[in-house]
Amino acid sequence: MRKLLIPVVVVALIVVLMSVFVIPEGERGFVIRFARVLKDDSGMSKVYEPGLHFKLPLFDTVKALDARIQTMDGRADRFVTAEKKDVIIDSYVKWRIKDFGKYYVATGGGDTGRAQLLLERKVTDVLRSEIGSREIKQIVSGPREDIVTSDTDSIVETAAVKQALEVDGERDKIMENVLVTTRISAMEDLGVYVVDFRMKKINLPDEISESIYKRMRAERETVARRHRSQGQEQAEIIRAQAELEVATILAEADRTARVTRGEADAQAAAIYSDAYNQDPEFFSFLRSLKAYEKSFSSKGDILVLDPNSDFFRYMKDAKGRLDK
């Protein structure tokens, strides 16, 4: 009896060990019985959380897969827009397994590389359709309300801002459409739940970048010429206004000077007239002295005059009497 007890205990221990399995942290497990994945009441694969679980020995096979969110950062691909222009888009996808049985079957045994390849094809097809129905300016721009300018009434306004204000960008809409469509398709075919999709970078091919730069440079030069011509026009207006103000001020000053000079001459004439009327003889004497001063101011001057002329009357007599 004791001899049979030891083999029974050993067999029982082996059966228990074969019935127990452990799912590591970060993974989920499922059981394959008779080449079929066990399902729960909802029709999805029965998933075992991390920890200790039991199975039927010999009949059940346990598979554990990574249940964490994974990132598929594929290579940049080329797409054609509605304008028949090429763009190079670099994107990434975050995904995780939701239906482990479907994922296991669709990927040929849970091959992560195959799963990412199939998922990349789905994303590329949907993204190609979205890009092909839009223009470049719609692809690279976000919604119009996201554009903030410090001074939209300023004279200088960049072409990028003007273009964005004229066109509603659909970059966010494209990413949303790709996410929703791919999420449905990936869940149905692969048992994968697409968590997020983002376009990281949008570039132009090298062969057309130079032409784009030339066009942008030409647009900037056109704007610069327009601003320079507007500045020259404003300068001419300011210069003309300044010259008009200068001419007006000078004319007003000249008019005031003439009026003042005329008034002064009138006052001087009145003073001379009053002085002459008070003492005509003295007035004549003063005028003669001034005439002498001006006539004899230079020693080299020579005057040929009759000594008895009226010019010398006050040199002969203080009262201006001429000898008869």
What is the reported pLDDT for 159?
A: 45
94 and 192, same domain (yes or no): yes
- In CATH, what number is assigned to the domain containing residue 191? 3.30.479.30
Final residue before a domain boundary, out of 34, 66, 98:
66
What are the two backbone dihedrals, phi and then psi, of residue 207, each rounded to the nearest 5 degrees?
Answer: -70, -20
Count the domains in the chain.
4
- Is 321 part of a structural domain of the chain? no
List alpha helices for 167-205, DSSP H.
171-190
103 is a domain residue: yes
Q: Is residue 135 part of a domain?
A: yes
d(CA 6, CA 25): 36
Flag whether 57 is in a domain. Answer: yes
Same structural domain, 153 and 263: no
Whether residue 13 is contained in a domain is answered as yes
Confidence (pLDDT) at 150: 41
Structure tokens at 3: 């001899």
157 and 238 in a single domain? The answer is no
Contact (CB, 8 A) for 97 and 66: yes
**Contact criterion met (CB below 8 Å) for 176 and 236:** no
Answer yes or no: is 42 within a domain: yes
Same domain, 37 and 83: no
40 and 156 inside one domain = no
Res 21: pLDDT: 78
| 150 and 125 part of one domain | yes
Indicate the residue type of 40. D
Are the C-beta atoms of 72 and 83 separated by less than 8 Å?
A: no
Residues 146 and 197 in one domain: yes
Q: Is there a single domain that holds both residue 270 and residue 287? A: no
Q: At what angle do helices 171-190 and 112-132 cross, to 10 degrees?
A: 140
pLDDT at 306: 64
Residue 199 domain-assigned (yes or no) = yes
Return d(Cα 171, Cα 130) in angstroms, integer.
10
Residue 275 tokens read as: 């002085």
Tell whether 11 and 115 lie within a shared domain.
Answer: no
Q: Which of residues 177, 204, 231 is at a domain's end?
A: 204
pLDDT of residue 323: 52
Which is nearest to 72 in space by CA: 38, 114, 43, 30? 114
| Per-run averaged pLDDT (10 residues), the chain, 324 residues | 70 75 82 77 77 77 85 87 88 91 86 91 93 87 53 40 52 92 93 93 78 83 93 94 94 94 90 77 74 70 66 61 50
Are 41 and 139 in the same domain? no
156 and 171 co-located in one domain: yes
Rg (the chain; Cα; Å): 54
Burial class (CB in 10 A: 0-12, 13-18, 19+), 253: exposed
Closest residue by Cα to residue 82 from 141, 138, 135: 135
Structure confidence by residue, pLDDT tens digits, 138-188 = 888 766 554 444 443 333 344 444 444 444 568 899 999 999 999 999 999
Q: Which of 290, 130, 104, 119 is closest to 196 using CA atoms?
A: 119
Q: Token digits for 88?
A: 């190079």
Going 30 to 34 to 39 to 41, the CA torsion angle's sign is: negative
- Containing structural domain, residue 284: 279-316
In a domain, 243, yes or no: yes
- State residue 202's pLDDT score: 87
The first and second tokens of residue 116, run together, are 């990412």
**Which residue is listed with tokens 């003073």?**
271
Token pair for residue 193?
């739940």
**Domain match, 114 and 229 both:** no
